[in-house]
Amino acid sequence: MEGLIAPHGGKLINRVLEGKEREDAFGRSKELKKICLTDREISDLEMIGIGALSPLEGFMCKDDYHSVMDTMTLKNGLPWTIPITLSTSTEVAKTLKEGKEVALADKDGDVLAVMLIEEIFSHDKEKESIQVYGTHEDKHPGVKKVHDMGEVLIGGKVSIIKRVNHTEFKEERLDPLETRALFKEKGWKRVVGFQTRNPIHRAHEYIQKCALETVDGLMIHPLVGETKGDDIPASIRMRCYKALIENYYPKDRVVLAVNPAAMRYAGPKEAVFHALIRKNYGCTHFIVGRDHAGVGNYYGTFDAHYIFDEFDRAAIGITPMFFDYTFFCKKCGGMASFKSCPHDSAHHITLSGSKVREMLRNGACPPPEFSRPEVAQILIEAMKGAAQA
């Protein structure tokens, strides 16, 4: 689409079949061996199909898989940091053949796609854990997912027959083709994307608005795929985002759309991955905060900033916008960061996540310098409901 940033690799991939192609593939799928996908694999399948993971046209084959781990690029040299793979057991793999098709189904057995098997190869779980997540510890949620996967990986192009029928956030489920059309309609040429899996508090709001000062529009793009069990559910988070936009954002300069991806919790490597996804959605800029996509103490506070120095910026394509730790400074009388505030921490209003959760559980609103009251009230009600359930 003229005037917008090119997708990663130059072409927006579309692997969703329509018309006769879809009918023919559906007919063939009835006779094929089925592989039932996990929730994360279903998210990856959808993301591949709609072009959010361009230039990928399917699950990775061996060369791309190892290249991503070894060099943070696909085998063609294009930056890429997270393996996108489909696994199965050794027993099932013995029934499959390269050059043949297999049906990809959900947990109920409904076929979502067919896949032409290009390669069947060993899943190097130890290498993937260390080189993608930086640890082999099972307590890391991303590593746990890797260890729970099958021993064999299957690579090949996918063709989607049936898209997942999402019942939530229908209005906000915009594919890359749709967000690009929307940005063009609005006349936005410079668009900043914001990744989130949490409610937006004042620090997030501050960095979004700082970024918004320099671009045409902001896309708040919360991840609504699979997350950790203790993360706040997407349905509650979406109410928070809408309350914020309604009361505190210029509505003509903000788009709220959902990202159907699953979280990996891969820290710096996932920061690059998230940036490339937003590039495919049409963003020219991407906000990278402190401990982006982090979990526990596995990554340094600003590792997600430093990793971008390892890439040629032209090859990445999208411009990262780096933000320091932000807070409300009583002496400054407003939001600030360590880059802009000269005062010591005694003047800063900061709260730990555990302290905020304790306040919310007790029905107490955190100070307005930390969280907007509308957001706090939604979270209080949600926690009260969860406690009563």
- Active-site amino acid positions: 197-198
Query: At CA 259, angle to CA 138 and CA 130, rounded to 5?
Result: 25
Element (H, E) at 272: helix 268-280
Backbone angles phi, psi at 152, to 5 degrees: -125, 140
Beta bridge partners, 363, equal none
> What do you get for the CA distance between the two ends of the chain, in Å?
48
- With b for 16 or more beta-carbon neighbours within 10 A and e for fewer, the 280-304 pattern comes to bbbbbbbbbbbbbbbbeebbeebbb
Q: Check residue 177 and give left, alpha or beta (phi > 0: left; psi -120 to 50: alpha).
A: alpha
Instruction: Record the tokens describing residue 329, joined without a space.
Output: 């400074």
Report the distance separating Cα 68 and Cα 62, nearest Å.
Answer: 10
Q: What is the DSSP letter of 79?
A: B
Q: Who contacts 309 (Cβ-Cβ below 8 Å, separation ≥6)? A: none
Q: Is the dihedral of CA 141, 142, 143, 145 positive or negative?
A: positive
Q: Is the dihedral of CA 324, 325, 327, 330 positive or negative?
A: negative
